[in-house]
């Protein structure tokens, strides 16, 4: 199996930045497959069955959806260990990846958000992006915060982050833990939309942001979608073992769908499910047999009768 990760992303993606910096810090070389900021994404449609959130990572014929398990895979390939996350750091990361993430962009007025998108994407691109994101987050309450509430949520998060850092370089202490990367990406998003300025950050948080940014993406090479498809076709999915393969529904036709945003179901045959991960098999003439991996948390797996 080809063990070089292929990461599907676009430069402005905050969740992808979390993964890119983690790979850089851990010394994991990767291949970069740039995708559009919104669908259609032809290669991912074939590999991941319509899953529409970014990033996605490919290892041979195994496709990993959601940063929760992408990070697990990168950590397993890393040249160095991460610092451990204590309960306080984990709690701060959970907040950062939920309401704080949406508050990061919702701090701005609709006009400022639209203006920022026009500057990045042009008018037609802004309109297409706005239409896509309305359906992407429809029904998810955290995505509909008012600017006033969003600013409060984000400000409270920065206060908590400052208190957590204290005199330490990282949330993990002297070196980063996974929570550092989780906490960084909503700030990356807010800065990208000019929703926050460095002058609004405390000295400790401002220094931490700089330390996180200079970790960099590490060694990465570009790869085309067609090459990535060839990698999948020439590979076999990893052999699955453990309690997940004995799940009662293994062999059943199922759909797996995010429960918060981007709620597009992915269909396949269940091949493994344990307390942390659901894995389904998908086969097509274009890519052969692939295994698509999802976290259990935040995803719904339903049997098709």
- The whole-angstrom separation of Cα 86 and Cα 171 is 10
Which pair of tokens denotes residue 303? 């049997």
Q: Give the pLDDT of residue 195.
A: 85
Q: Give the pLDDT of residue 95.
A: 96
User: Which domains, and CATH codes, for the chain?
Assistant: 6-80+219-303 (3.40.30.110), 87-213 (1.20.1050.10)
Q: Give the pLDDT of residue 37.
A: 87
Which pair of tokens denotes residue 268? 């396949």
- 3-state SS class at 90: helix
Which DSSP helix (H) or strand (E) runs through 54? none
* Percentages of the chain per state (helix, strand, coil), in multiples of 5: 45, 20, 35
Using the structure block, give the residue that is written with the tokens 């204590």. 86
Q: Give the pLDDT of residue 133.
A: 64
Provide CB contacts within 8 A for 136, sequence distance 6+: 52, 261, 262
Q: Give the pLDDT of residue 136.
A: 66
Q: Give the pLDDT of residue 108.
A: 76
- 3-state SS class at 36: coil
In a 13 Å sphere around the CA of 133, the CA atoms on its Cβ side amount to 16
Q: pLDDT digit of tens for each residue in the chain (305 aa)?
A: 567 999 999 998 999 999 999 999 999 999 999 999 888 899 999 999 999 999 999 999 999 999 999 999 999 999 999 999 999 999 999 999 999 999 998 887 776 767 766 666 677 766 766 776 666 666 555 666 888 999 999 999 999 999 999 999 999 999 999 999 999 999 999 988 888 889 999 999 999 999 999 999 999 999 999 999 999 999 999 999 999 999 999 999 999 999 988 899 999 999 999 999 999 999 999 999 999 999 999 999 999 97
Q: For residue 21, give the nearest of 299, 286, 218, 211 by alpha carbon.
A: 218
| String of DSSP letters for 168-235 | -SBTTBSS-BHHHHHHHHHHHHHHHTTSS-GGGS-HHHHHHHHHHHTT---SEEE--HHHHHHHHHT-
- Edge-first strand order for the sheet with 30-34 is 220-222, 30-34, 6-9, 56-59, 62-65, 288-295, 277-284, 266-273, 253-258, 299-303
Asked whether 90 and 193 are in contact (CB, 8 A), the reply is no
- The whole-angstrom separation of Cα 227 and Cα 47 is 13
Helix axes 87-96, 178-192, angle to 10 degrees: 30
Which pair of tokens denotes residue 286? 């274009």
Q: Give the pLDDT of residue 138.
A: 65
């Amino acid at each position: 199996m080809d063990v070089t990760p292929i990461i599907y992303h676009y430069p402005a993606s905050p969740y992808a930045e979390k993964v890119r910096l983690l790979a850089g810090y851990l010394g994991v070389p990767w291949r970069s497959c740039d995708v559009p900021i919104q669908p259609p994404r032809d290669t991912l449609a074939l590999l991941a069955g319509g899953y529409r959130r970014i990033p996605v990572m490919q290892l041979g014929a195994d496709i990993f959806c959601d940063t929760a398990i992408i990070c697990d895979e990168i950590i397993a390939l890393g040249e160095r260990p991460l610092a451990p996350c204590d309960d306080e750091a984990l709690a701060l990361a959970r907040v950062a990846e939920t309401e704080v993430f949406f508050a990061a962009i919702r701090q701005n007025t609709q006009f400022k958000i639209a203006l920022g998108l026009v500057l990045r994407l042009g008018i037609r691109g802004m309109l297409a992006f706005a239409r896509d994101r309305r359906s992407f987050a429809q029904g998810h309450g955290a995505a509909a915060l008012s600017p006033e509430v969003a600013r409060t949520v984000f400000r409270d998060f920065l206060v908590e982050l400052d208190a957590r850092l204290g005199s330490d370089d990282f949330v993990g202490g002297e070196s980063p833990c996974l929570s550092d990367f989780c906490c960084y990406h909503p700030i990356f998003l807010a800065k990208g939309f000019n929703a926050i300025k460095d002058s609004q950050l405390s000295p400790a948080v401002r220094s931490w942001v700089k330390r996180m940014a200079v970790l960099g993406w590490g060694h990465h090479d570009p790869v085309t979608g067609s090459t990535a498809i060839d990698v999948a076709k020439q590979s076999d999915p990893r052999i699955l073992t453990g309690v997940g393969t004995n799940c009662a529904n293994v062999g059943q036709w199922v759909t797996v769908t995010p429960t918060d945003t981007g709620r597009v179901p992915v269909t396949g045959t269940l091949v493994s499910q344990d307390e942390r991960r659901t894995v389904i098999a998908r086969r097509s003439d274009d890519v052969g047999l692939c295994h698509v991996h999802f976290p259990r948390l935040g995803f719904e797996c339903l049997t098709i009768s």
